[in-house]
């Protein structure tokens, strides 16, 4: 029997010991109080199907992001014409991705188009009968939609982290959908509200000169919008809605916020204090200074929270949002403002709530099936292949330790399909050892000595084992790449187990055989 390299022995033992240390907190159901702080303390998280929680399939309305970009293009076009000192009759959004510009007859249309092409190099500029049209390029529209989904994922993840949900699963599905799983969640309704709020904060001026009565009758000026402010609701008072006619143009947005915190007013009522960054503080001071004596509305998702009169220029970049807030409402509002606005509205396409009872049943049945399946395999190996069979059983146990350790180190979530993957891995690991033992049997039948049979058995079985594992690994990678949540959980477990199975069947069992037999005169192997 060839000598087993010392460095391989040291590496193999280290892998096994580290795996046992990393998997013990999971096997013990958590980190006990006596567990030393310098040892690994991570555990394998339980997925939604094992501990209950909320499953949401979200749809990002990317068309709204394109429309918002076109609205911004209206303001940018207006500023460009003022910069070039060109007069215009009207500027309004045309369709979902364009801006229609009407010019007086005495304005040089060609000069305006030249200016627009210089200002908007990525946009499409077209001449019309009475002016020009500015449209977002097709490539830019595609990028806007992709950004809306990617940014929504980041914003929702930030909100969830601040909300305090542990082990969330958030992943893109298709081009406009997001799959969200929140294990262990106790308040699904509040979570859905927190996740789905667009949280677009805007500061707009109240149009005091506008005709509110005419607006309520449906005659709203083109540059205005009609919104409502809720009043009352404290100490049993009825909630009333006060209509306000606001300038449609947004003077300042929440994009420039750096912080939002819950505070209390002099009457002990909850409010949200906001802080702007340097640019926002400068713009806020300029805005309040230019409109002293006027009312400025604080609008969140088209709802007016307050519309105070500006008594003086406000410097320092701080403001307050008041309303009929409970402590919970104020806390959630601060979360969404800190996390930032969603670039587009998000709607729930599918919702499932998994109860903790179902999760407990799944765990019990999954663990029971793993124990029964593993016990039957181990019993068969021990009876049929005797000594080498029990050696293979030890390798299978270590294989499970390695899988648990890697899952814990990755902070991955173990799902019910993942448990099924563990059961399957026991079979895969045993199969590799069966190939080796049968090859050793063949070599013994050819008259080889036990040591020579062991060397030839491992050498000749290696390529077959490698081929089968690579084939299975390829399938697992495809499942991970194109599968959804449960399928990906199964694939992750399978990928880790296949790699560890190669190590335990080829390297670990050979090392154990070498140290068991190296100083003995073996005439017959127990198989």
pLDDT tens readout for residues 162-185:
776 666 778 888 889 998 888 877
| 3-state SS, residue 177 | strand
Q: Is the pLDDT of residue 76 over 60?
A: yes
d(CA 354, CA 523): 59
Q: What is the pLDDT of residue 484?
A: 66
Give the pLDDT score at 170: 84
pLDDT in tens, 222-252: 889 999 988 766 656 677 889 999 998 888 8
What does the pLDDT read at residue 487?
80
In this predicted model, which residue has the larger pLDDT, 416 or 79?
79
State the pLDDT at residue 357. 54
pLDDT at 366 > cutoff 80 = no
Confidence of residue 160 (pLDDT cuts 50, 70, 90): confident
Q: What is the mean pLDDT of residues 298-327?
A: 88
| Spatial CA neighbour of 303 closest among 256, 242, 348, 345 | 242
Return the pLDDT at 137.
92
Instruction: Tell me the mean pLDDT in the region 367-388.
Output: 85
**Tell me, what's the pLDDT at 360?**
65
Percent of the chain with pLDDT over 90: 38
pLDDT digits (tens, 9 = 90+) for 185-227: 767 788 888 888 888 899 999 998 999 999 999 899 988 999 9
Average pLDDT of the chain to the nearest whole number = 87
| Domain covering 197-352 in this structure, CATH number | 3.30.1360.200
Is the pLDDT at 358 greater than 60, yes or no?
no
Position with higher pLDDT, 370 vs 397: 397
pLDDT tens digit sequence for 38-58? 888 888 877 777 777 888 899
Q: What is the CA radius of gyration of the chain?
A: 33
For 490-505, the pLDDT digits (tens) are 888 899 999 999 999 9
| CATH architecture of the domain with range 63-140 | 2-Layer Sandwich (3.30)
What CATH number is given for 6-51+355-517 in this structure?
Answer: 1.20.1640.10
Residue 283's pLDDT is 92
101: helix, coil or strand?
Answer: strand
Q: Do 289 and 313 form a contact (C-beta atoms < 8 A)?
A: yes
pLDDT in tens, 515-526: 888 877 877 887
Contact indicator for 291, 153 with CB cutoff of 8 Å:
no
pLDDT at residue 412 is higher than 80: no
In angstroms, the Cα distances linking 180 to 54, 146, 349 are 8, 18, 11
Q: What pLDDT is stored for residue 189 in this prediction?
A: 83
Domain boundaries, the chain: 6-51+355-517, 63-140, 197-352
Share of the chain above pLDDT 70, in %: 95
CA 192 and chain centroid, separation = 15
């Amino acid at each position: 029997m060839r000598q087993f390299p010392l460095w391989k022995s040291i590496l193999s033992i280290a892998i096994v010991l580290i795996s046992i240390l990393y998997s013990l907190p999971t096997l013990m159901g958590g980190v006990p109080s006596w567990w030393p702080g310098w040892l690994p303390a991570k555990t394998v998280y339980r997925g939604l199907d094992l501990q209950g929680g909320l499953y949401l399939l979200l749809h990002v309305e990317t068309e709204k992001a394109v429309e918002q970009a076109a609205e911004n293009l209206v303001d940018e076009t207006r500023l460009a014409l003022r910069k070039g000192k060109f007069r215009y009759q009207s500027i309004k959004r045309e369709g979902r991705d364009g801006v229609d510009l009407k010019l007086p007859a005495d304005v040089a249309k060609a000069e305006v188009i030249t200016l627009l092409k210089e200002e908007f190099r990525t946009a499409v500029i077209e001449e019309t009968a009475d002016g020009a049209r500015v449209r977002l390029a097709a490539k830019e529209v595609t990028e806007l939609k992709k950004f809306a989904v990617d940014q929504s994922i980041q914003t929702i993840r930030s909100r969830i982290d601040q909300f305090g949900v542990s082990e969330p699963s958030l992943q893109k599905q298709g081009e406009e959908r997001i799959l969200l799983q929140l294990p262990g969640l106790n308040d699904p309704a509040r979570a859905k509200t927190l996740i789905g709020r667009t949280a677009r904060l805007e500061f707009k001026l109240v149009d005091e000169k506008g005709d509110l009565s005419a607006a309520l009758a449906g005659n709203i000026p083109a540059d205005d919008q009609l919104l409502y402010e809720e009043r009352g609701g404290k100490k049993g008072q009825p909630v009333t809605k006060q209509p306000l006619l606001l300038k449609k143009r947004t003077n300042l947005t929440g994009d420039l916020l750096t912080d939002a915190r819950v505070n209390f007013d002099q009457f002990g009522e909850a409010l949200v204090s906001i802080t702007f960054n340097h640019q926002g503080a400068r713009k806020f001071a300029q805005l309040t200074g230019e409109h002293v004596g006027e009312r400025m509305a604080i609008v969140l998702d088209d709802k007016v929270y307050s519309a105070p009169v500006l008594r003086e220029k406000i410097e320092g970049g701080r403001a307050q949002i008041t309303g009929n807030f409970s402590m919970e409402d104020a806390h959630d509002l601060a979360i969404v403002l800190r996390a930032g606005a969603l670039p587009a509205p998000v709607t729930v396409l599918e919702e499932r709530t998994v109860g903790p009872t179902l999760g407990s049943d799944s765990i019990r049945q999954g663990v029971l099936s793993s124990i029964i399946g593993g016990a039957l395999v181990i019993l068969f190996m021990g009876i049929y292949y005797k000594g080498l069979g029990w050696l293979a059983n030890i390798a299978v146990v270590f294989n499970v330790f390695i899988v648990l350790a890697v899952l814990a180190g990755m902070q991955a979530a173990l799902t019910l399909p993942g448990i099924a993957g563990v059961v399957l891995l026991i079979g895969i690991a045993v199969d590799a050892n069966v190939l080796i033992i049968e090859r050793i049997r063949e070599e013994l039948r050819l008259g080889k000595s036990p040591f020579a049979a062991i060397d030839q058995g491992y050498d000749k079985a290696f390529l077959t084992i490698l081929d089968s594992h690579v084939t299975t690994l390829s399938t697992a990678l495809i499942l991970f790449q194109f599968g959804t949540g449960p399928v990906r959980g199964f694939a992750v477990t399978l990928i880790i187990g296949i790699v560890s199975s190669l190590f335990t069947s080829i390297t670990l069992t050979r090392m154990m055989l070498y140290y068991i037999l190296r100083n003995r005169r073996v005439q017959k192997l127990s198989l």
